[in-house]
Amino acid sequence: MDIQLDRTNDGKIKINRPTRGQKSLKWILIATAIFTVAGFFMMDYSGLVLSQAIADTLNNLYQMFLQPELSQVGFGTAMSQVVVTLSLAFLSTILGAVISLFLAFGTAVNLSKPWLSTLIKGVITIARAVPTVLWVLIFAIAAGLGSIAAVIGMMFHSVAYLVKAYSEAFEEIDEGKIEALRATGSSYWQILFQVVIPETKSYLISWTFLRFEINFGVAVAMGAAAGAGGIGYELFMSSTFYYDMNEVGMITIIILIVAIILELIANRLKIKA
């Protein structure tokens, strides 16, 4: 049994027993380590020449990051494809944020009825547990592979993500302010737009832009997996069809630069909010 001993200010020793959550986390980490080690031993290494594999990997990395070049795709085309990817991420984030805002009003326990809050939380938990790529493929059955399925699938998962974030921000609001407006006879929507939104504005902006960053990365992957186009599709073609490591490296660097720029913008928005 794990027991932690802490000395209090008066010199006495306090015994802290691990909680159920701490015990569960410990066993999850142990199981993960065991499965990771076992996975290495279960892999098939029969056709692997380690020295050749290391040499090929180092050569690929050298071509990718020390000799980057857009040989198949021009710079202008690459930039336009980046815009396409950003557009997919932006559209799915904005649509998801609008839907999430109203669902979060019904999810927050201090703004909604208990049965409605529990119902919405249950639905979004299931939706959030399904990976984004799977949602995209599900909607691709109806809309076909392409940007429409990608936007709907990304939006669906964004809603499941943002509803949880928004509702938790709403639940942190001082209950006294809400009760004061209710006592003055303010309507439900007046409470939302005079207290709830202003009090949580910085959190809403931060979480929304964080989701936009996530959707940009997802949109890169969906460019290849769902045929949505954008810079992800060019990366897929360069790595599998052309097998041009120089171009793969250049596209990777472009994606990395865009991701850094988005992070810098996110930090500025947090400061201003």
pLDDT at 257: 93
Q: Could you tell me if residue 41 is inside a domain?
A: no
pLDDT reading at 4 higher than 70: no
Q: Could you tell me if residue 37 is inside a domain?
A: no
d(CA 208, CA 260): 17
Q: What is the pLDDT of residues 86-111, one digit of tens each?
A: 999 999 999 999 999 999 999 988 88
If one compares 136 and 95, the residue with the highest pLDDT of the two is: 95
Q: Could you tell me if residue 154 is inside a domain?
A: yes
Q: Could you tell me if residue 70 is inside a domain?
A: no
pTM of the predicted protein model: 0.79
Q: What is the CATH number of the domain that holds 105?
A: 1.10.3720.10
Average pLDDT over residues 151-173: 90
Average pLDDT over residues 135-157: 82
pLDDT at 7: 52
Whether 158 contacts 97, CB under 8 Å:
yes
Q: Lowest-pLDDT range, 7-11, 32-36, 37-41, 102-106?
A: 7-11
Whether 262 contacts 213, CB under 8 Å:
yes
Q: pLDDT grade, residue 1 (50/70/90)?
A: very low
Question: How many Cα atoms sit within 13 Å of 134 on the Cβ side?
Answer: 6
Q: How many CB atoms lie within 10 A of CB 225?
A: 19
Residue 215's identity, in one-letter code, is N
Q: What is the pLDDT of residues 56-79, one digit of tens each?
A: 889 988 888 888 888 888 888 889
Q: Could you tell me if residue 117 is inside a domain?
A: yes
DSSP letters for 59-124: HHHHHHHHS---SSS-HHHHHHHHHHHHHHHHHHHHHHHHHHHHHHHHHSTTTS-HHHHHHHHHHH
Nearest to 124 by CA among 111, 136, 108, 113: 108
End-to-end CA distance of the chain: 47
pLDDT at 173: 85
pLDDT reading at 10 higher than 80: no
Number of domains in the chain: 1
Residue 226's identity, in one-letter code, is A
Task: Report long-range pairs for 53-62 (Cβ below 8 Å, ≥24 apart).
Answer: 60/245
d(CA 25, CA 12): 29
Nearby residues of 226 by Cβ (< 8 Å), 6 or more positions away: 133, 136, 137, 140, 145, 146, 149, 150, 153
**C-alpha torsion 212→218→219→220, nearest 10:** 120
Q: Could you tell me if residue 220 is inside a domain?
A: yes
Q: Could you tell me if residue 40 is inside a domain?
A: no
Average pLDDT over residues 181-206: 85
Q: What is the pLDDT of residues 16-25, one digit of tens each?
A: 666 777 777 8
pLDDT at 86: 93
183: left (phi over 0), alpha (psi -120 to 50) or beta: alpha
pLDDT at 253: 93
Print the domain residue range for 116.
75-272
DSSP state of 273: -
Q: pLDDT grade, residue 258 (50/70/90)?
A: very high
**Averaged confidence pLDDT in the chain:** 84
pLDDT at 12: 56
Residue 5's identity, in one-letter code, is L
Q: Could you tell me if residue 7 is inside a domain?
A: no
pLDDT reading at 166 higher than 90: yes
pLDDT reading at 138 higher than 60: yes
